[in-house]
Structure 1
């Protein structure tokens, strides 16, 4: 398989690229600077590095990079700095999803391309009746006002849910919602649920970035797993930390 990974130099994106390469997949990694990728994977023969800011690519360039890909994985996010949170582009994740999906359709693929979005447990799946307390609803309303990245995550998932939907013939999607990201060096046991099993605001769990990458990589390569979760927004927790 050929997979395009955007946000490949990020904390989770690096793990995802490594996981896919370990599976023997061919990876196209979009990064602003090749030097931000770990040396351990930078020279892998199955890795093609595209040095670019994803939203600065023209529609033609985007379509060229997407051509021939079986899947696209987005680990895009905003740096936790003042500029990263409040500077431009404020709709990085959502605009990238829209443009990448547009590139898929421009190429008119023979079979559906998988789009795997890394999202957040703080974003509800509005296709399901996920319960939410009034206190949590109030906090999320504040997050929408104060933190543009939260709105970006919501809009990215909403684009896939409402504009791509469940019956698109060219694009299938899954939005993975990690809860409480932490750093670990090895994959551990984790569990995946259709909806949060605890409050992401008042009782958040934890999941390692490498576990999130492992799940995303398996979604792409394992058709049975994909069929189970496509069109959904699964929530992932590291198992020993979920209770």
Structure 2
């Protein structure tokens, strides 16, 4: 299978790429700064590195890049710097999701392309009745006002839910919602739930970036797992150990 990964130079995206390469998939990555990628990736014949800024590619270039891909994964996010949070592009994740989906549809693939979006537990799945406390609603309302990346994450998932939907002929999607991200060297036991089992604001859980990459790679690789979660926004927590 050929998989396109955007956000591959990030802390979680790099873990996803490593998991996909370990499963012997062909992987394409679009990165602004290829020099930031691990040196160990460079000789890998299964990896194609496209040096570009995702939002600066033309529609024609995007269509060509995704043409032979059976899956697309986005681990895009905003750098936790003042410029990364408040500078442009404020809708990086949403705009990239929209343009990638448009490129997939433009190719009229014979079978649906898998689209996996890394999202956040701070974002509710509005297709489900996910109750949250009044206090958490207040905090999230503040986040929308003060942190543009939070709104970007919400709008990216909403695009998949409302514009692609559940019955698209060309795209099937899963939006993976990790809780508090931590760094670990090895994959450990983790659990997946349809909705958060704890408050993302007041009682957040933890999940390692490598576990998120492992789950996203398994979604792409395993059709049974995909069938379980397609069109949903599963939440992932690492099990305590």
How many angstroms does 1:42 deviate by? 2.5
* 2:196 alignment counterpart: 196
Distance 1:181 1:198 in 2: 15
**Does residue 156 of the first structure (1) align with residue 156 of the second (2)?**
yes
Q: How does 1:187-226 map to 2 (within 5 A)?
A: 187-226=187-226
How many angstroms does 1:41 deviate by? 1.7
Q: TM-score, structure 2 length as denominator?
A: 0.99
**Does residue 35 of the first structure (1) align with residue 47 of the second (2)?**
no
Secondary structure of the 1:93 match is helix
* Cα pair 1:34 1:42 within 8 Å, conserved: no
Distance 1:46 1:76 in 2: 22
Q: TM-score, structure 1 length as denominator?
A: 0.98
Secondary structure of the 1:240 match is coil
* 1:176 alignment counterpart: 176
* 2:137 alignment counterpart: 137
* 2:87 alignment counterpart: 87
What is the Cα-based RMSD across aligned positions, in Å?
0.6
Distance 1:70 1:215 in 2: 17
Structure 1: gaps (5+ residues): none
Higher alpha-carbon deviation: 155-164 or 29-38: 29-38
Distance 1:42 1:15 in 2: 15
* 1:66 alignment counterpart: 66
Secondary structure of the 2:237 match is strand
**Does residue 101 of the first structure (1) align with residue 95 of the second (2)?**
no
Q: 1:195-222: CA deviations, max 9, x gaps?
A: 0000000000000000000000000000
How many angstroms does 1:73 deviate by? 0.2
Segments of 4+ moved more than 4 angstroms:
none
Distance 2:43 2:5 in 1: 16
Secondary structure of the 1:181 match is strand
Q: 1:104-150: CA deviations, max 9, x gaps?
A: 01111111000000000000000000010000000000000000000
Secondary structure of the 2:192 match is strand
Distance 2:205 2:79 in 1: 22
**Does residue 113 of the first structure (1) align with residue 113 of the second (2)?**
yes
* 1:20 alignment counterpart: 20
